[in-house]
Amino acid sequence: MILITGATGLTGSAVVREFVRRGRPARALVRNPDKARALTAVSGVEVVQGDLLVPDTLAPALEGIDTVVLISSADNRMVEAQCTLIDAAVAAGVGRIVKVSGLGPDLSSPFRFGRYHAQVEQYLQAAGVGWTLLRPSQFMQTYYREAPTMLADGTFAQPLGDTRLAPVDVQDVAEIAYATATGDGHASKTFEITGPQALTMTEICEVLSSVVGKPIRYVDIAPEEKRKRLLDAGIPPRFADDLDDLFRLRRNGGPESRVDIKVFEQLGLRPTSFAEFAERSAAVFQGTSEPEQLWASGWQNADVSVQGSGSGV
Ligand SMILES: NC(=O)c1ccc[n+]([C@@H]2O[C@H](COP(=O)([O-])OP(=O)(O)OC[C@H]3O[C@@H](n4cnc5c(N)ncnc54)[C@H](OP(=O)(O)O)[C@@H]3O)[C@@H](O)[C@H]2O)c1
């Protein structure tokens, strides 16, 4: 049996849906029963309540589990939460942990979550349990956050200059998580995952203009201006600082600017293009439908009201 953590979040819920689509039973770890209602109704998904920060809740969730797909929020306690799960999995005799990380994890990264993912990856590799690392690029779904501003004034303001980014569709990450968690030969492997094209923000705007049906213009703003807009939109200062770090990293180019789709080729999968993703999500970009998720749950839990404006983590 496979345990999927973070099952109520953007990536975890996509992984659960992929198991359902494939008709493969899975167990979903959920800390908030109210959020689990949609999952309990799905056949083939066994929902267990547990908190990654509370070891006592993890032993029952890990009973009979061979493989864990480890996902949790990019929040202040991410390292503690994921390392607690790793310890509990080792104690429970789990065979392998497939960790959803991020692209460019580095203990000296200027981006806090780049450092956090590096810490967890190192901890996992030394823990005495099998491991597989999935390192996705920026998610295409983060562009949902721009929809309100794009629709209001036809602009898409980012402090990204002419940088190219190769965002990946979360649905593709879920397919890769499914394949590497259920298939053989993926232990002790690290998979970098990007989308199939590295696009400038102007090119992203061309796609979005065609989907929205009106011109969307990229405006290259200063990082300081972007930070101010994030704060004005209700993003907590700590996370506005994180996004500021990330934008500065991306502005200078980096791993997310390069296309790396080897994992798709190895697994016989086809990466979704940004245009395909945008067409599938047309209702969200046109403002007629709510996205499944706008901001990571760690941010929502920060007890602030967060509206559109800004993309990043
Ligand atoms: N956004 C990007 O562009 C991007 C790109 C590459 C990698 N990543 C990485 O991908 C990962 C997943 O991101 P996401 O956007 O899918 O996150 P998300 O939507 O915030 O989902 C996180 C999930 O983790 C759960 N969780 C958090 N703390 C928990 C705890 N203590 N116990 C049990 N469950 C807990 C949340 O539960 P609740 O619903 O109860 O809060 C939620 O289900 C992150 O590590 C992020 O760094 C993100």
Burial class (CB within 10 angstroms; exposed 0-12, middle 13-18, buried 19+) of 108 = exposed
Query: Quick one: the chain helix, strand, coil %, rounded to 5?
Result: 45, 15, 40
Instruction: Report domain extents, the chain.
Output: 2-137+168-193, 140-166+196-257+273-300
Cα(32) to ligand 1 centroid in Å equals 13
- Residue to mutate (ligand 1; options 297, 300, 313; most atoms within 8 A of CB): 297
CATH of 140-166+196-257+273-300, one of 3.90.25.10, 1.10.3720.10, 3.30.390.30, 3.20.20.220: 3.90.25.10
Q: How close is the Cα of 255 to the center of ligand 1, in Å?
A: 21
The atom number, within ligand 1, closest to the CA of 139 reads 3
CATH topology of domain 2-137+168-193: Rossmann fold (3.40.50)
DSSP class per residue in 132-155: EEEEE-SBGGGGGGGHHHHHHHSE
Q: Ligand 1, closest atom to CA 5?
A: 34
User: How far does the centroid of ligand 1 lie from the alpha carbon of residue 297, in Å?
Assistant: 6
Question: Which tokens sit at 48?
Answer: 């267990």
Q: Cα(133) to centroid of ligand 1, in Å?
A: 16
Pairing, β 2-4 against β 199-200: unpaired
User: Whole-angstrom Cα distance, residue 54 to residue 64?
Assistant: 19
Question: Tell me, what DSSP letter sits at residue 304?
Answer: S
pLDDT tens for residues 275-310?
999 999 999 999 998 877 655 555 445 433 333 333
Cα radius of gyration rounded to whole Å, the chain: 19
CA 217 / ligand 1 centre spacing (Å): 31
Q: What is the pLDDT along the chain (313 residues), one digit of tens a residue?
A: 999 999 999 999 999 999 999 999 999 999 998 888 777 777 889 999 999 999 999 999 999 999 999 999 999 999 999 999 999 999 999 999 999 999 999 999 999 999 999 999 999 999 999 999 999 999 999 999 889 889 999 999 999 999 999 999 999 999 999 999 999 999 999 999 999 999 999 999 999 999 999 999 999 999 999 999 999 988 899 999 999 999 999 998 889 999 999 999 999 999 999 999 999 999 999 999 887 765 555 544 543 333 333 333 4
SS3 4: strand
Which pTM value belongs to this model? Answer: 0.94
Q: Give the strands of the sheet with 96-100, arranged side by side.
A: 45-49, 26-30, 2-4, 67-70, 96-100, 130-136, 189-193
Q: How far is the CA of 29 from the centre of ligand 1 (A)?
A: 12
| Ligand 1 binding site (Cβ under 6 Å of any ligand atom) | 5-12, 31-32, 35, 51-53, 71-74, 81, 100, 102, 113, 136, 138-139, 142, 293, 296-298, 313
